Amino acid sequence: MLANRLVRCRLGAQAILVALCPLLPTVVAAQSTTAADSAFARADWPAASREYRAIAVQDTTNIRARFRLGVALFQQREFRDAIPEFRRASLAGFQSPQAEFRLTRSFARLGEADSAVVHLERAIAAGVSLQLIASQSDLATIRDDARYRSIVQKLEDTTFPCRRGTEAHQFDFWLGDWVVTPWGTPASVPAIGRNTITAQLEHCMLLEEWTAANGSTGKSFNFWDSNRKAWRQVWTAGNGQSLDYEGHFSEHAMRFTGWSLSSNGTRVLQKLTLSRISADTVRQLFEASSDGGATWQSTFDGRYVRTTHAPEKP
């Protein structure tokens, strides 16, 4: 009886082992991936490259392992060996932006500018940002290359169109800190207010910050509207009044038009003209019409004298 029980136990154990055998490769692979990922996370690059290479040999379709093998080799300055792994990842569409940018960095570190430039263009097409490119010291060897400068300039123009866009700089003559007095009066008369105009949002918007002599305040956003193909000024004051202008730059002046409502609810046409008189003098003229534009009356006529040039803000 005891012998029969022992035989049955052996047969049961063998059956369990047979059932588990198909699962063993999966268990081993999971353990290998865990060991590789752990080494990668703690930046143990020799161990990571060893573990990921073993995984890649066992499973040639594991592109993630290939990519991470490339990163581990790159971190050990084995740039030549890392290149095929990044190429495999890029061809497979795995983390294409990073794969192409890693290729760019690898070739740049090897001093192979031609290949570095080719892969830089591909990295940008895949979505690598200007900020990432500018911050990467590995590209120091190609930054003086005319092709690199041309590629990066195009990306900058696309990323920050207002930095070099013609329209975005038409209103630059208004930038700065200003003392405002009535137009046509001696320069020695008391100021009626002060105004500060700064460039914001990569020069896509000019912010006006007005403070009158009596302490009242107002602000306006001024920007080139790429949808309307026109300049806009949106003004609001501390007393709740607002104006929304649209205009264009012509004959050395920014010329806005808009409308407001009078106290009895009728529409009043508005004109605002800012004229560059000299390098540090601007005339600001507000006009209003209550008869549909047949006649116009001046409602504000100010002389701006610049005291300082305001720095550009991000």
Q: Domain extents for the chain?
A: 24-159, 167-308
Mean pLDDT calculated for residue range 248-257 = 97
Q: How confident is the model at residue 20 (pLDDT cuts 50, 70, 90)?
A: very low
What is the reported pLDDT for 27?
A: 46
> Is the pLDDT at 9 greater than 50, yes or no?
no
Say what the pLDDT of residue 18 is. 46
Please state the φ and ψ torsions of residue 4, each to the nearest 5 degrees. -65, -40
pLDDT in tens, 36-77: 999 999 999 999 999 999 999 999 999 999 999 999 999 999
In the structure, what pLDDT confidence band is assigned to residue 314 with cuts at 50, 70 and 90?
low
- Within 13 Å and on the Cβ side, how many CA atoms surround 216? 9
Judge whether 296 and 288 are in contact, CB under 8 Å: yes
The secondary structure of the chain, three-state, reads CHHHHHHHHHHHHHHHHHHHHHHHHHHHHHHHHHHHHHHHHCCCHHHHHHHHHHHHHHCCCCHHHHHHHHHHHHHCCCHHHHHHHHHHHHHCCCCHHHHHHHHHHHHHHCCCHHHHHHHHHHHHHHCCCHHHHHHCHHHHHHCCCHHHHHHHHHHHHHHCCCCCCCHHHCCHHHCEEEEEEECCCCCCCCCCEEEEEEEECCCCEEEEEEEECCCCEEEEEEEEECCCCEEEEEEEECCCCEEEEEEEEECCEEEEEEEEECCCCCEEEEEEEEEEEECCEEEEEEEEECCCCCCCEEEEEEEEEEEECCCCCC
> Is residue 15 pLDDT above 80, yes or no?
no
Determine whether domain 24-159 maps to CATH 2.60.40.420.
no
Distance CA 262, CA 34 (A): 73
> Which pLDDT does position 6 carry in this prediction?
46
> How much of the chain, in percent, has pLDDT values that exceed 90?
86
Picking from 140, 173, 164, 180, the residue whose alpha carbon sits closest to that of residue 302 is: 180
Residue 309, pLDDT > 90, answer no
pLDDT band at 1 (very low <50, low <70, confident <90, very high): low
Q: Tell me, what's the pLDDT at 11?
A: 52
The pLDDT of residue 135? 96
pLDDT-derived band at 308 (thresholds 50, 70, 90) equals confident
pLDDT digits (tens, 9 = 90+) for 140-194: 999 999 999 999 999 999 999 999 889 999 999 999 999 999 999 998 899 999 9
What the block records as the tokens of 269 is: 């046409």
pLDDT at position 209:
98
d(CA 159, CA 93): 24
- The residue whose two tokens read 């154990």 is 13
CATH architecture type of domain 167-308: Beta Barrel (2.40)
Query: Would you say residue 243 has pLDDT above 70?
Result: yes
Residue 7 — very low, low, confident or very high, per pLDDT cuts 50/70/90? very low
pLDDT at residue 200, rounded to an integer: 96
